[in-house]
Structure 1
Amino acid sequence: MTRRALTGSLAALAIATTALTGLASGAYAQTSLRMAVPDPAGSSVGRAATRFAELVSEKTDGEVAIEVFPDGVLFGGDQNAAVNQLGSGALDGLILASSVYASFEPKMNAISLPYLFADYDQLQAYLGGEPGDELLASLDRFGIHGLGFFLRTFRDVTTRDTAITTAEDFQGVTLRTPNNPLFVALFEALGANPTPMAFSEVYSALQLGAIDGQENPVEVPYNNKFSEVQGQLNITQHLADSFLVALSGNAWDSIPEEHREAVQQAADEMIAEHDAEEIAAEQDIIAKLQDEGMQVNHFADGKLERVQEIARSIYPEFEDQIGAEFMQKSLDFVNQ
């Protein structure tokens, strides 16, 4: 039995009414919690949080309520601080990228090993199966109760002028990356110039030419109008990321036991819905960016294999951080 299945029968999350939906039932809920998300209410993660709150309210008959706070307002926009606040109980709930959690639990880097997953089916099976359950369990020692992961679409590179169709095209390109050693190591290996930078600074840095490009799931350049300052959308699909739905241990314990299974079911249902929507929307977003003037580039025939070879060469650098046993478990999972 996986941890999620076990958790689904023993525990779950508290929520019903959201600041986004304005459900009045929250005032009468037996348990009311506040959930923070980093992005706007209308973003992918904002919509996921709202749907989760709706499902929890439905499945607990309004006895568990969640109020969703978008735009990072509950943690001042500092995502590392948000994880600390969740562990201490200062935040009740949080939806945040698994790559941020990697600063606290290096095992999380396994999700983002470059070119680990062949497709979304494999990524979903990993996040929803035994490897994902082990990652959720690893947060217990921080006072964080993980409910599950929902996927983000694979990350792609945008650039101002450079079309990336071979490994050599990365040479000398200055790319903004998150402040995560794995991302930096990947692009250094490819010959690019990775530049960690707060996301709030990216648009202006692109506009001023301080950086040549950035990398993110395609939703990010679309929602942030990067087509105004970037001409090339390079479908590199170089690594995966996910969002982790979690509660503080204190918040989890505050949920009456009779509602926990329903809350876990709400998380699982939201994740399934969200994953299907994200995957379906990816090609539509690419088409919209193309309509906005971006040129869409793919690796030339036979060139992806060389990029994958270079990218996977960094795996040994992270074996000690991730843990040799869990890294091997991850590799065995995708190769089975």
Structure 2
Amino acid sequence: MNTKTRAITGVLACSLAATALAGCAAAGASSGGQAAPVAKIQLSIPDPLTSSVGVSAQHFADQVKKTSNGSVVVTVVPNGTSFSGDQNAAVTRLQGGSLDALILSTSVYASIVPEMNAISIPYLFKDTSEEAAFLAGKPGQDLKDKLAKKDTVALSFLTRTGREITNSVRPITQPSDLKGLKIRVPGNTLWTDFFGKLGASPTTMAFSEVFTGLQTGTIDGQENPIEVPWTNKFSEVQKYVSLTNHINDAWVLALSSKKWGTLSADQQKALTDASTETASFKTTYDTDQAKKQLDELTAKGMKANELSASSIEEFKAVSKSLYPDFSKLIGKDFFDQAVAFTPAK
């Protein structure tokens, strides 16, 4: 080999060695945790992307992209398609790890953590801001700790506006107006006890069946935050919307413990930070949207009515008469903590 050939060969060898060293350095940085592999998370929700929870879920996905610098990618799966619309099954699947992440109502999680029902004690909160303080405070942390024991990592609670009653028989201006009305409620004892005490005939059914039930007269009405009749076009099958604001519940934004355990510490922090920001976003978003949605429902023919202060006191009195039952349902310690945090107004 002549001198020129040896020189060229030496240059090539050095170049290849430098490339190999750079590759090893990059691999070392990745294995050292500085650039963890991209984590992909499917976030399942029960409602359409256009709903409040759909908008909030996508907002969370966008925030995660920012807070994680692209190391976590969240894809929203709407309409309950990943759990065939069975919300109780969704909770079980999240615990088992066959669902990555889920946003679902606290009323559903109450089946595994009864203390969740405390959020929905009728007329516990005077407004959504008070509910947000409750969920961001010690009661909310205690609930997260209880979920953690069920293989569920609750990143944050997302508030909902107060629940209102719609029906096709008459306006609800006082408790006696509910007598005999078949009102669809979630499959939760707190709801059935409260509406039964009000004189209604509480009827549980899967939410996917509610529109048809209202259309055929199987049920007379339902109760939900105002965005639910707006999103699901209940104005086509309901005449009245009564602004009772009788119960608050919330959404739980959670990951399975199994999925959580696959993430780096930086990725976990990115998700937590994004969820906190999303909780604040949703409270503001819902407040801004509620009036617009009510206006649209009335524009489509629904008749809205507010309750007098004396009528609200009648509803509150019914709730308080059930406190001994609610205490047993929730557990005395947490029930007392909830009532003490937010004294009855």
TM-score of the two chains, using structure 2 as the length reference: 0.87
Going by fraction, where is helix more abundant, 1 or 2? 2
Partner of 1:113: 121
Q: SS at the partner of 2:342?
A: helix
CA apart distance, 1:106: 0.5
Partner of 2:203: 195
Deviations 1:3-25 (A, max 9, x none): xxxxxxxxxxxxxxxxxxxxxxx
Alignment gaps of 5+ in structure 1: 1-27
Alignment partners' CA distance in 2, 1:263 and 1:179: 31
Q: How does 1:127-276 map to 2 (within 5 A)?
A: 127-276=135-284
Alignment partners' CA distance in 2, 1:213 and 1:112: 20
Deviations 1:57-110 (A, max 9, x none): 111111112222111121111111111111111111111111100111110000
Alignment partners' CA distance in 2, 1:67 and 1:224: 23
Q: Contact conserved, 1:155 with 1:239, CA < 8 A, in 2?
A: yes
Q: Contact conserved, 2:182 with 2:219, CA < 8 A, in 1?
A: yes
Alignment partners' CA distance in 2, 1:310 and 1:229: 29
Partner of 1:7: none
Q: How does 1:21-36 map to 2 (within 5 A)?
A: 30-36=38-44
Alignment partners' CA distance in 1, 2:220 and 2:186: 15
Picking from 289, 295, 313, the partner of 1:287 is 295
Partner of 1:69: 77
Q: SS at the partner of 1:161?
A: coil
Picking from 88, 101, 124, the partner of 1:93 is 101
Deviations 1:153-196 (A, max 9, x none): 11000010211111211111111111111110011110111111
The change in CA–CA distance for 1:67 and 1:301 in structure 2 (over 3 A counts) is closer
Q: Contact conserved, 1:35 with 1:93, CA < 8 A, in 2?
A: yes
Deviations 1:275-294 (A, max 9, x none): 10101211111111111111
Give the aligned residue type for 2:174. Answer: T
Q: SS at the partner of 1:306?
A: helix
Alignment partners' CA distance in 1, 2:216 and 2:40: 45
Q: SS at the partner of 2:149?
A: helix
Deviations 1:118-164 (A, max 9, x none): 11121110011111111111111111100010111110000102111
Q: Contact conserved, 2:128 with 2:283, CA < 8 A, in 1?
A: no
Alignment partners' CA distance in 1, 2:93 and 2:289: 33
Q: Contact conserved, 1:158 with 1:231, CA < 8 A, in 2?
A: yes
CA apart distance, 1:301: 4.6
Picking from 307, 311, 328, the partner of 2:315 is 307
Q: SS at the partner of 1:34?
A: strand
Q: Contact conserved, 2:102 with 2:255, CA < 8 A, in 1?
A: yes
Cα RMSD (Å): 1.4
Q: SS at the partner of 2:275?
A: helix
Alignment partners' CA distance in 2, 1:298 and 1:286: 12
Q: Which moved more, 1:285-294 or 1:237-246?
A: 285-294
Give the aligned residue type for 1:200. Answer: S
Alignment partners' CA distance in 2, 1:231 and 1:123: 30
CA apart distance, 1:320: 2.3
Partner of 2:130: 122
Partner of 1:13: none
Picking from 326, 329, 341, the partner of 1:333 is 341
Partner of 1:83: 91
Alignment partners' CA distance in 2, 1:55 and 1:111: 27
Structure 2 residue 285 is matched with structure 1 residue 277: yes
Q: Contact conserved, 2:124 with 2:343, CA < 8 A, in 1?
A: no
CA apart distance, 1:29: 5.2
TM-score of the two chains, using structure 1 as the length reference: 0.89
Give the aligned residue type for 1:291. Answer: A
Q: Contact conserved, 2:95 with 2:256, CA < 8 A, in 1?
A: yes
Structure showing greater radius of gyration is: 2
Post-superposition, which runs of at least 4 consecutive aligned residues in structure 1 deviate over 3 A? none
CA apart distance, 1:30: 2.2
Q: SS at the partner of 1:146?
A: strand
Alignment partners' CA distance in 2, 1:184 and 1:231: 23
Alignment partners' CA distance in 1, 2:93 and 2:329: 24
Q: Contact conserved, 2:61 with 2:75, CA < 8 A, in 1?
A: yes
Q: Contact conserved, 2:119 with 2:248, CA < 8 A, in 1?
A: yes
Q: Contact conserved, 1:190 with 1:311, CA < 8 A, in 2?
A: no
CA apart distance, 1:226: 1.0
